[in-house]
């Protein structure tokens, strides 16, 4: 308990520090000034999202192979967290875009991929909500999750290919265009903070799922006892 509280506190401090760094320590960017600072969280949220999606994929594959419930818990927790990060990423993207370039949205590779993944993983959660039986729910959502994960690079590639044929002004200076060292440091720090926060939320969600499962098992064990005929030896299923 205490360790959890401590870790949560540390991560909270990290987030605040990251926020402070983004707002006050990072140097003023030449063209976009203050608004550019959203960029730190924007990139960080995407990092969090891709981490979560990677974990979701691991969970999906591991469930299909081992059938151990904890991989399903990992799958659903990761996807929920990924959707959260993705929502944040999309919102910050919009917040950045409008003041910076006068447009709310642009269909570049990264934003498009993020948007499609957002829809796909929301569909994953909708699918889970519509299947009641736990085994089947886990298996079918794992299959869909794998398909969704495979689609991500395809979305990105399609967009890039489209861009080569319909070139548009490059709007994202981004990390690849030679950043001042301070900007890079702040960005990495924000990424680390957000990823830690993401993992924290993920583990909390995972624990919630595990508790739900344990509640099911308890209910189930009670039901088992109720059906125990007197002359049969009890054999606990755990």
Q: Round to whole Å and give the CA distance between 68 and 19.
A: 39
Q: Concatenate the DSSP letters of all residues of 174-193 into one string.
A: TTTS---HHHHHHHHHHHHH
Return the number of the residue (14 or 224) whose C-beta is nearest another protein. Answer: 224
User: Quick one: 2 or 166, whose CB is closer to another protein?
Assistant: 166
Q: How many CB atoms lie within 10 A of CB 141?
A: 26
Interaction between residue 147 and another protein (CB under 8 A): yes
- Residue 238 Cβ, how far from another protein at the closest point, in Å? 10
Cα–Cα distance between 183 and 27 in angstroms, integer? 7
Residue 58 near another protein by CB under 8 A: no
Q: What distance in Å separates the CA atoms of residue 99 and residue 192, rounded to the nearest whole number?
A: 27
Q: Which of 6, 174, 216, 225 binds another protein (CB under 8 A)?
A: 216
- Cβ contacts of 52 within 8 Å, gap of 6 or more: 78, 79, 81, 82, 85, 198, 202
Where in 62-91 is the site for another protein (CB under 8 A)? 64, 66-68
Among the listed residues 13, 25, 126, 211, the single contact to another protein using CB under 8 A: 126
Q: Which two tokens stand for residue 58?
A: 């691991």
User: What angle separates helix 69-101 from helix 134-165, to the nearest 10 degrees?
Assistant: 30
220 touches another protein by CB under 8 A: yes
Distance from C-alpha of 218 to C-alpha of 222, rounded to nearest angstrom: 6
Looking at beta carbons only, is 54 or 153 nearer to another protein?
Answer: 153
Q: In the numeric block, which tokens belong to residue 114?
A: 């993020």
Token pair, residue 234, equals: 């009890």
Q: How far is the CB of 81 from another protein (least distance, A)?
A: 19
| CA–CA distance, 106 with 87 (Å, rounded to integer) | 16
125 binds another protein (CB under 8 A): no
**Which residue from 94, 151, 171, 210 is in contact with another protein, where contact means CB under 8 A?**
151
Q: Does 123 engage in binding with another protein (CB under 8 A)?
A: yes
Find the binding residues for another protein in span 100-119 (CB under 8 A): 112, 116, 119
**What is the smallest separation between the CB atom of 58 and another protein, expressed in angstroms?**
16
8 binds another protein (CB under 8 A): no
Binding-site ranges for another protein (CB under 8 A): 64, 66-68, 112, 116, 119-120, 123, 126-127, 130-136, 139-140, 142-144, 146-148, 150-151, 154-155, 157-159, 161-162, 165, 216, 219-220, 223-224, 227, 229, 232, 235, 237
């Amino acid at each position: 308990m205490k360790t959890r509280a401590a870790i949560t506190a540390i991560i909270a401090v990290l987030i605040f520090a990251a926020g402070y760094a983004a707002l006050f320590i990072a140097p003023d960017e030449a063209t976009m000034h203050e608004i550019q600072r959203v960029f730190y969280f924007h990139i960080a949220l995407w990092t969090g999202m891709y981490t979560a999606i990677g974990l979701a994929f691991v969970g999906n594959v591991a469930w299909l192979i081992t059938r151990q419930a904890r991989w399903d818990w990992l799958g659903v927790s990761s996807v929920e967290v990924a959707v959260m990060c993705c929502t944040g990423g999309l919102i910050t993207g919009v917040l950045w875009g409008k003041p910076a370039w006068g447009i709310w949205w642009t269909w570049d590779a990264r934003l498009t991929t993020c948007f499609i993944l957002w829809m796909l993983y929301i569909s994953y959660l909708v699918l889970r909500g519509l299947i009641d039986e736990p085994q089947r729910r886990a298996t079918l959502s794992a299959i869909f999750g794998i398909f969704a994960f495979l689609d991500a690079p395809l979305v990105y590639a399609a967009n890039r290919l489209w861009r080569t044929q319909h070139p548009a002004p490059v709007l994202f200076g981004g990390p690849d265009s030679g950043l001042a060292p301070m900007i890079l440091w702040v960005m990495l720090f924000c990424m680390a903070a957000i990823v830690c926060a993401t993992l924290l939320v993920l583990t909390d969600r995972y624990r919630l799922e595990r508790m739900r499962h344990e509640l099911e098992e308890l209910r189930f064990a009670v039901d088992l006892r109720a059906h125990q005929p007197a002359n049969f030896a009890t054999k606990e299923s755990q």
